[in-house]
A and B are shown apart, each in its own frame.
Chain A
Amino acid sequence: AQSVTQLGSHVSVSEGALVLLRCNYSSSVPPYLFWYVQYPNQGLQLLLKYTSAATLVKGINGFEAEFKKSETSFHLTKPSAHMSDAAEYFCAVSEPNAGKSTFGDGTTLTVKP
């Protein structure tokens, strides 16, 4: 069985500050991992994905995430927050060929001017 835990349902940062959104996963096999972003009144869109190649994954809009097997983590970071980053972020895990993903509860990012 697979599961995802996102630590912190709300994160608030100042514009220009580091963004760190935490995700820990559980999986019985080597997983695939994803971060999705949901802007207000929109569906989810893929931010980045880990598919067992490089452990440091770069995504859109300056975000990146590092897969750490020893810590079962896949935290999302961005060096400098922008007002347009305000959104809800979801971490998801998928087992190879399972055809399904399990999503975390989401983290709402607020960016203060």
Chain B
Amino acid sequence: DADVTQTPRNRITKTGKRIMLECSQTKGHDRMYWYRQDPGLGLRLIYYSFDVKDINKGEISDGYSVSRQAQAKFSLSLESAIPNQTALYFCATSAVDRSYNEQFFGPGTRLTVL
């Protein structure tokens, strides 16, 4: 079984719709992250959470919100989707007892906003 899972794997939606992407992990890690990947731009950090009560904005948080429902669950919401949010979205985790922040990634969610 995968340690970091993301649902849905693919989603097509329309401009203005609210959408939620979900991430669950069984690694027991406290830290969780949301990234988006665009061709030629690498991975850009949207939000990150060091524990259930600690949520932080990343470099591109505008237009997104998150919820850390439990240690194992971290959801990303697009309140009103727009076409330039079309991208591949990744959830990742890391262990707080590792100072070097090795990250473990989910398989990704491909989001298309029409």
Contact = CB atoms under 8 A, between A and B. Distances in A.
Interface of A: 9, 32, 34, 36, 41-46, 49, 51, 90, 92, 94, 96-101, 103-106
A42 B4 CA distance: 12
Contact of A90 (B42, B96, B99): B42
Contact of B108 (A36, A43, A46, A92): A43
Interface of B is mostly: strand
A46 B102 contact: yes
Contacts of A106: 40, 42
Contacts of A104: 42
Nearest to B9: A41
Interface of B: 4, 31, 33, 35, 40-45, 48, 50, 90, 92, 94, 96, 99-108
B35 to A, nearest CB: 8
Contacts of B106: 43
A49 B102 CA distance: 8
